[in-house]
Chain A
Amino acid sequence: MFIFFLAACEKHRPLPLFTKPSSSLHHRLSPCLPLSPLAHFLILHPSASLPAATLSPPHRTINLRQKHRKVSLGFFFSQTPYFWTSTRWPASELDYAIYLAKKNIRKQGELMEYEKERYSVLHKRINHTWDFVVMQAREQLRASKQRRKADRIVLECQEQAYWLINRPPPGVHNVLDVGLERPNNFSARVTLNSDYYKNEIETSRRALGRNRVKSSICLEGFVKYSEQYLNHDPIMQGCLPSNPWISDDTAHWTMNADMVPTPTRLRVERWSFSFMELLEDSMGRREFMTYLEKEFSAENLCFWQACEDVRHGESSRIVEKVEDIYKNFLAPGAARWVNIDSKTMDKTLEGIRHPHRFVMDDAQMHIYFLMKKDSYPRYLKSDLYKNMLAKAIVPQETKKSVFPFMRRQRHSSPSPAQAATQAEDGQAKGAGQAGTNSAGGSNA
Chain B
Amino acid sequence: MFYLDFLIVILCFKPFRCRSLPAQRKYMRSPLIPEMATQEVQLNETLAHLKTESETLKSKLEEERAKLHDVELHQVAEKVEGLGQFVMKTRRTLKGHGNKVLCMDWCKDKRRIVSSSQDGKVIVWDAFTTNKEHAVTMPCTWVMACAYAPSGCAVACGGLDNKCSVYPLSLDKNENLAAKKKSVAMHTNYLSACSFTNSDMQILTSSGDGTCALWDVESGQLLQSFHGHAADVLCLDLAPSETGNTFVSGGCDKKANVWDMRSGQCIQSFETHESDINSVRYYPSGDAFASGSDDATCRLYDLRADREVAIYSKESIIFGVSSVDFSLSGRLLFGGYNDYTINVWDVLKGTRVSILFGHENRVSTLRVSPDGTAFSTGSWDHTLRVCDDCYFFIGIKYNQNLCTFNFTPCAPDKPPLSLTATHLPKYSNLKKHIYRST
Contact = CB atoms under 8 A, between A and B. Distances in A.
B151 A436 contact: yes
B348 A226 contact: yes
- Which applies to chain B's interface (DSSP): helix, strand, loop or mixed? loop
Contacts of B411: 236-238
Interface string B103-147: 000011111100000100000001011010100000000100000
A235 B189 contact: no
A223 B131 contact: no
A189 B208 contact: yes
Contacts of B112: 415-416
A321 B201 CA distance: 15
Given A189-B232, A218-B305, A246 B91 contact: yes
Contact of B305 (A213, A440, A441): A213
A244 B368 CA distance: 15
- Please classify how large the interface on chain A is, using the bins under 10, 10 to 19, 20 to 34, 35 or more: 35 or more
Interface string A400-424: 1000100000111101111111000
Contact of A222 (B142, B160, B347, B373): B347
A412 B294 CA distance: 39
B372 interface: yes
B209 A189 contact: yes
Interface stretch (B12-20, B26-34, B264-272): B264-272
B150 A437 contact: yes
A413 B108 CA distance: 13
Interface string A296-310: 000000000000100
Interface in A219-277: 219-223, 225-230, 232-239, 243-246, 250, 252-253, 256, 275-276
Contact of B151 (A203, A243, A308, A416): A416
B219 A316 contact: yes
- Please classify how large the interface on chain B is, using the bins under 10, 10 to 19, 20 to 34, 35 or more: 35 or more
A261 to B, nearest CB: 20
Contacts of B294: 60-61
Contacts of A440: 150-153
Given A201-B50, A245-B386, A313-B201, A223 B169 contact: no
Contacts of A441: 108, 151
B216 A226 contact: no
A110 B290 CA distance: 53
A275 B242 CA distance: 9
Contacts of B219: 315-316
A314 interface: yes
Contacts of B265: 203, 206
A200 B131 contact: no
Interface stretch (B67-75, B178-186, B398-406, B420-428): B67-75
Nearest to A316: B218
Interface string A301-332: 00000001001111110000000000000000
Contact of B329 (A199, A230, A416): A230
